[in-house]
Amino acid sequence: MYKLKQSPEDFIVKEISNIEVTGKGDYSYFLLKKKNYNTLRAIENIAKSLKIPSKFIGFAGNKDKIAITEQVISIKAAGKERTERLQLKDLNLTFLGKGNKPVSLGDLTGNEFIITVRNLTKKETENLQNKIKNKKLLIPNYFGEQRFSKNNKSIGKHLIKKDFSKAIELILKNNSDYNPEINEHLSKAQNDFIGALRNIPKKLLKLYVHSYQSYLWNQTVEEYINKNGLKNITIPIIGFGTEIYDKQINEIISKIIKKENIDYRDFIIRELPELSAEGQERNMLIELTDLKIISKEKDKITLSFSLPKGCYATIVIKFLIIL
């Protein structure tokens, strides 16, 4: 059975940013190169070292932990010299220039990947080589496992169902970096679970809700493909504003939300309004056109390709080798 991410060097990600760098502005842009950090944790370490709030640092997307990744970040209230003097293990910052807007989630066109796959069986190698012969591959655009991590989708479901105590319980079970702050808050206000949640960065709380939405989307796509095969259409990511005009997709989603015991309006979270999720649409398929083999050994192969933003390289690898 194939293996991924046996070391950070096996999974290299370079962000394709759409930020316009100029010579002037309130924001300094840096290329962040990191290893063995997810982006949120890296941002927190940088902010702590600069003695600024984490919200002063902007980024376009959360990159993998067990990987070597590059991405553009913006920093407010910290210039080139001060930031480049930082000495942080496995984090490197290179000044790019200045601009008038922060880097925000989604400020990228995609990512470039160089991935080493190890422990390939003979059958897996054959599957991969047969797929690579196609100049254009259409691949199901599932959300990858890293979207869910441990308990993420369950925490997201408890948040939309307003079961904040259960959400906190699962976050604490995850050994979150924010456990000390959560426990300290609850020691002073025993049942103030909403207040306890406010000790967690808003971006991470949103990630929990998005994780549950992603799970529902994957379920919808799997059911649709089982009935219809691969079709290049869009599928709704369920939220409070979801409207569905396709009869079959509506039937599939209605069945799923009934099983989950949820409603579209559950995604309005009045107690934590910043977590409310309107929903959107997502392409069911990815078109892969630039897949290349960089090197090949007996049970190991290194590939390169690029993907649009929001798409998962781990899903591409799974499709090439197994599906």
Which tens digits make up the pLDDT trace of 57-93?
999 998 989 999 999 999 998 878 889 889 999 999 9
Contact 275, 209 (CB under 8 A): yes
Give tens-digit pLDDT for 15-30.
999 998 988 889 999 9
- pLDDT at res. 22: 84
Closest Cα partner for 94 from 85, 106, 107? 85
- pLDDT at res. 197: 97
DSSP strand E in 134-284: where?
A: 137-140, 234-237, 280-283
Q: Are strands 68-76 and 11-17 parallel, antiparallel or unpaired?
A: parallel
Give tens-digit pLDDT for 36-47.
998 988 999 999
- pLDDT at res. 10: 97
Inter-CA distances, 170 with 153, 157, 210, 249, 269, Å: 11, 11, 16, 32, 19
Is the pLDDT at 323 greater than 80? The verdict is no
Q: What is residue 44's three-state secondary structure? A: helix
- pLDDT at res. 124: 92
What domains sit in the chain, N to C, each tagged with a CATH number?
A: 19-106 (3.30.70.3160), 110-141+285-321 (no CATH), 145-283 (no CATH)
pLDDT band at 102 (very low <50, low <70, confident <90, very high): very high
pLDDT cut 70: percent of the chain above it: 100
Complete DSSP assignment for 234-257: EEEE--TT-----HHHHHHHHHHH
Whether 64 is a known active-site residue: answer: yes
Mean pLDDT of the chain: 93
What integer is the mean pLDDT of 189-216?
A: 94
pLDDT band at 209 (very low <50, low <70, confident <90, very high): very high
- pLDDT at res. 130: 86
- Catalytic-labelled residue, pool 64, 90, 163, 263: 64
Give the CA-trace dihedral at 258, 259, 261, 265, to 10 degrees. Answer: -50
What does the block give as tokens for 30?
Answer: 């840096």
DSSP strand E in 123-183: where?
A: 137-140
